[in-house]
Structure 1
Amino acid sequence: MSKQTTYYLVQEDILPDVVIKTALAKELLNRGEVATVKEAVERVGISRSVFYKYKDGIIPFHEASRERIVTIALDLKHESGILSKVLSAVANHQGNILTINQTLPLQGMAIVTLTIETKSMDVDLPLLLENLVSLQGVKKAHLVGQN
C-alpha cells in the first residue's frame, strides 16, 4: 500500500533555513541568474546534497497556484455592474473563467463563486484576490479550493 502525500501551506518564518535557501537556489536557476546547480548552491550557502534533498518538495505558493484551476468565493453588493467589474478584472489579468455561480441576493449581498484557470495569469493568486477586494462593491474574496 503506497503512502499518500500530504501538503501543507506553511509560513516562511517557521521553515528551516536550508529549505528556504533551496527555494532561493531554484529561483536563481529559473531566472537564469546562474547556469548550474553548483553556482546556485554556492550563492545561497547550501550543499548540493541539501538542494537535491529538498528541491522537489518546496514550491512557492505563487508558483503552486499557477497552472491550476482555483475556486474563489466573493461577497458582492447587490448593485448593477459589480459582477461585470469582477469578471473584467479577472480577464484583465489573463484568468480564464470556467464557471460562475451566484446566489440570490439576501440583505443586499450575493455570494458569487468563480472557477478560474490560472495558467496564463500575469499576477499570483493572492494579488488577484487583493485586486478583487479593492473593487467597489466587493466585500470579501477568498480561495475556496484548487486543483
Structure 2
Amino acid sequence: MKEKHPFYVINRSVLPEVFLKVVEVKNLLENDKMLTVQEATEQIGISRSSFYKYKDAIFPFYDKGKSEAITVLIHLQDEAGRLSDVLNYIAGAGGNVLTINQMLPMNGIAIINLCIQTAGMNMTIDDLLRGLGNLNGVKEIQILARE
C-alpha cells in the first residue's frame, strides 16, 4: 500500500544533528564548486556515507533543490513602469517568466500572478523574493506554489 503522506514539515530544532550537517555540506558544495564531497564532509564533521545516505532526503523548505518553477502573487502600485521593473529584476536574476496574469487595478494596486522558471537563476529564491520586495511600488509578495 502506498503511503498517503510521504513528506512532512519538521521544525529544525527536533531534527537529529546529522540532517542539519547534511544541509550544511550541501550548502558548502553549492557555494564552492571546487570543493569535493570528501573535503566538505570533513569540514562539517560527518562521514561521506552519512552525506550520501541522506542528501536526497532533506532540503530547506524554501529551497527544495530540484524546484523548477514558483508561482508568486505580487501587489504592485499601479504606476507606469512598475511591472517592467519587476520583469527586469527577474530577468537579471536569471529567472524566466513563464506566465503573467494581471487583474484590473483597484484602489491604485494591481495584483500580478507570475509563474517563474527558477532552474537557471543566479540567486536563491529567497534572495529573489527579497529583491523583488525591495523594488519601488511592490507592496506585497507571496509564494503561491512551487513545482
Partner of 1:64, secondary structure, is: coil
Task: Return the TM-score normalized by structure 2.
Answer: 0.82
Counterpart in the other structure of 2:85? 85
Map 1:49-128 onto structure 2 (within 5 A): 49-60=49-60, 63-64=63-64, 67-128=67-128
Deviates more, 1:12-21 or 1:45-54: 45-54
1:27, distance to aligned residue in structure 2 (A): 4.3
Deviates more, 1:53-62 or 1:71-80: 53-62
C-alpha change, 1:69 and 1:29, in structure 2 (3 Å) is: closer
Distance between the aligned counterparts of 1:99 and 1:114, measured in 2?
6
Identity across matched positions, percent: 40
- Count how many residue pairs are aligned between Structure 1 and Structure 2: 144
Any unmatched runs of 5+ in structure 2?
Answer: none
Letter in 1 for 2:7: T
Counterpart in the other structure of 1:34? 36
Deviates more, 1:18-27 or 1:68-77: 18-27
Any unmatched runs of 5+ in structure 1?
Answer: none
When the two chains are superposed, the root-mean-square deviation of aligned CA atoms in Å is: 2.4
Counterpart in the other structure of 1:6? 7
